Amino acid sequence: MQPIGHIASDFPDKFGVPRQPGLAPAARASLVLVPPFDDPLAIRGLDTFSHLWLTFIFHLSPEPSTAWTPLVRPPRLGGNTKVGVFASRSTHRPNRLGLSLVELRDIDTHRGIRLVLGGCDLVDGTPVLDIKPYLPWAEARPEARAGYAPEAPPQLAVRFSDEADAALDERDDGDSLRELIRQVLAQDPRPAYHRRTAERIYGVRLRDVDVRFQVMEAALGQTVLRVVEIAPSPPRCDTRPV
């Protein structure tokens, strides 16, 4: 199979990417088609649809010949309970294929073909294999059972330190970046096995910044993620706890 294009998004790394599409609508993303698939004839009529299915490759996951296993630990089950890989949306799959439902917000044809997307949950550089229009009358099934993930995950409160707010106020995109940080952190991107550890400071790359945050306990036992620093990203960022 040959990629028809690649994703350009606000997510340089896997850490922090929303675990499902639509959970961070403030995230900016585009699908840039590559030759010979950047032919305007190939997208004729696409602008009449509001949402698209993207088939893509989990290109940052290890090769399946050495990494796939029949059992995985979904974050929704706390990272401890195992289910079959085909009963999950794990990135570690035999063929590393992914499927994502995204909003089509615009089509830019000034320099090649760029599909402007909303609600994207894909890492920058993700190879896309196919596009298909979403048909709500055929594919929306509100009566369907959702197994161990019957509803969207609960969201945590997110607060910003004075220093983080000041850094955002200096940026032209400060308001949209602040909302993106809030939406990403509200889903608690930490690994499930770290969620009982409050002393660590974590780093997540969004756009061109490194966002450092830590866990706090607010009144009534509420968990709050506090952004302590926003700094320009180095060329490569280690997203492990520091």
Hey, what domains does the chain have and what are their CATH numbers?
Answer: 5-61+96-139 (2.40.30.70), 157-232 (3.30.2310)
Given a contact cutoff of 8 angstroms between Cβ atoms, the answer to whether 52 and 102 are in contact is yes
pLDDT, tens digit, 9 for 90 and up, residues 129-166: 999 999 999 999 999 999 988 888 889 999 999 999 99
Residue 62 confidence (pLDDT): 78
Nearest CA among 206, 201, 198 for reference residue 167: 206
Which residues make Cβ contacts (< 8 Å) with residue 198, sequence separation at least 6? Answer: 214, 215, 216, 217
Q: Which residues of the chain have pLDDT under 70?
A: 64-65, 67, 193-199, 218-221, 235-242
The pair of three-digit structure tokens given for residue 138, joined into one six-digit string: 């055929």
Residue 90 confidence (pLDDT): 87
Residue 64 confidence (pLDDT): 67
Reported pTM: 0.87
